[in-house]
A and B are shown apart, each in its own frame.
Chain A
Amino acid sequence: MLNRVTVRHRHSEVRPRDLWIETTTRYGRLAALLFEPQSAGSVDRTSAYFALVRANRALPVQRVP
């Protein structure tokens, strides 16, 4: 679980082969919840994602507002 998450607003360099996930569709909304730090206790997230989160200091998925 994520005990504390810091939010950083930034301008990212998007590189080729980065993954873009639209969140306007039903499954896209699921993805947004999947990667949302606040939903750690509410959404059934796979252990694979938590393994990535533990391994990285920065979470591998960013939000595009």
Chain B
Amino acid sequence: MPFLSNAKHIRASLRPSATKAALAAAHAARSAVEPIRLSARYAPDPVHPRATIELRRIADAQLVPLEFADHRRIETAQSVVLPRACLATADRAEIAALLDRQLIPYQCLTEARRIASIEFVNGPRPCDRR
């Protein structure tokens, strides 16, 4: 079946609301467990380092097989598991302005409580500096 006909057939068989809900659920499930890769690049694949693609030559309209380096493998590095939430405890006005500029929603907390968190300190630990 040609590609476009196939795509139309599949689209017709999917109910929009069910598709949206399924996509949202899949996205939520994936983002809950999958780390985000901070860096990704195309790299040569040792299993199939070259790919042959037939291209039509303009001069005589003949299909000519040409060989290209195959860089379709995606190499990732630097994974980050996202937290459930972030908490700004200092410089709140500046952080709020930054979030507003990026259209990132946030809540201004109204009552004190105690939570487990992970804090980043800029520089080595005191014991590392000896």
Taking Cβ atoms with an 8 Å cutoff, the residues of A that contact B are 2-25, 27-39, 42-43, 46, 48-49, 52-54, 56-65
Contacts and interface: CB of A to CB of B under 8 A. Distances in A.
B110 A16 contact: yes
A58 B90 contact: yes
Contacts of A56: 90-91, 122
A36 B119 CA distance: 11
B5 interface: no
A30 B86 CA distance: 11
Contacts of A5: 120-123
Contacts of B104: 21, 27-28, 30-31, 34
Contacts of B105: 21-22, 25, 27-28
B117 A63 contact: yes
Interface residues on B, range: 35 or more
A14 B97 contact: no
B99 A62 contact: no
B78 A63 contact: no
Main secondary structure on B side of the interface with A: mixed
A53 B94 CA distance: 12
Interface stretch (B6-14, B31-39, B55-63): B31-39
Interface string B65-98: 0000000000000101011111111111011111
Contact of A20 (B38, B85, B125): B85
Contacts of B32: 24
19 contacts: A10-B116, A11-B115, A14-B112, A15-B89, A17-B109, A19-B88, A20-B106, A21-B87, A21-B107, A23-B83, A33-B36, A42-B78, A57-B121, A58-B90, A59-B121, A60-B91, A64-B84, A64-B115, A64-B118
